[in-house]
Chain A
């Protein structure tokens, strides 16, 4: 219990440090770290998402139209609710946890046990400023961009593949989509993704900077802790968002009116 409290407190302190020292991003070496992180988390992850995103969109449309025998308008409405608000941010977050969460935790833990963090301190460079701030901000922004990309691919690709595979008009679905979609949906997803990304970044950095020991065995342990805790944090944040937006959480167990 004390360990959980310590980890939570450490993560909160790290998040506060990132917010307080945001300005270090203007320093050239920190900016370079930031760009590297955005590239790794965002740009280099896009290729793997295309097929997955398009298949998710197709699956939802096909399921609603073929199995539930609904019309295109309802299929698009469900696509909008599920992909834009929920699945899009979650797919991006899971992908970022799998790739960047493990990479950041492993890299930082290795740097810690090989004495590189001490080397940075000897150069009068705060490892939190140089390593944590650009990674947390980079992951938050890249996760948001990735979410928008997933949504675009899942909605657009889903409608396109559905038009090719089942008897439904692409233009009919596109028309319904633009009629039903609201900028608030995108704003909601962007806000959620920013928070998901920041949480993933903070947790990965925290466990990477605080590996459970000084031997090489501590590195995979740090990575495992980062992945499990980041996944848990994303799920919890999703519940909080659902509660705030829909007024109920955990299938109505908690409701806003209570």
Chain B
């Protein structure tokens, strides 16, 4: 408990708080640009942190990456183009809310639950980091294999209307992931002699192609949903967050 109080005293200094706000603005910008990820925001920030005090530097990096992850929801909700890979899973739902005029509510829920999730995760880490580390150390190849299987089956069954089409897209995705040199044998697979394909298909490139380009096709074909209806103001989030919490 003493350590936590001491840490709070170190964090709640004016200069640290100003750094955190600036880092949050930077993360907001980078995360909201589709194709620039939270990792990239952190990588760009790291050289600047060399000139800060340690507490400000760590605060800036943590804030920046957390903010960039949330900010990825902004273009996802408003344009159906996820800003960071982390937002890709629920882009459709958030955009559907915008279409119904609930864009502000969707963004509010994103913000609120990003913040709550981050705080909860930090709290768990503070309390249980050593025991979690013990569990994590016992993870071997078998556990990782089944974890990946669980993730893939969830994506197939939950994510789509038709399970068989979900399976088909899962297989196509796995096939795309085999492109490149990254296999135990080091054999170039499906590169067709193209040097650019040897490193495999980058996640960012795939995401831009799948979400951004398809949204542009929709727009060009006049299929983009009509978003001209008035967005209902969600009001003050802090007065209504109990309701949001119950609803979602």
**B partners with A:** no
**Interface of B toward A, CB cutoff 8 Å:** none
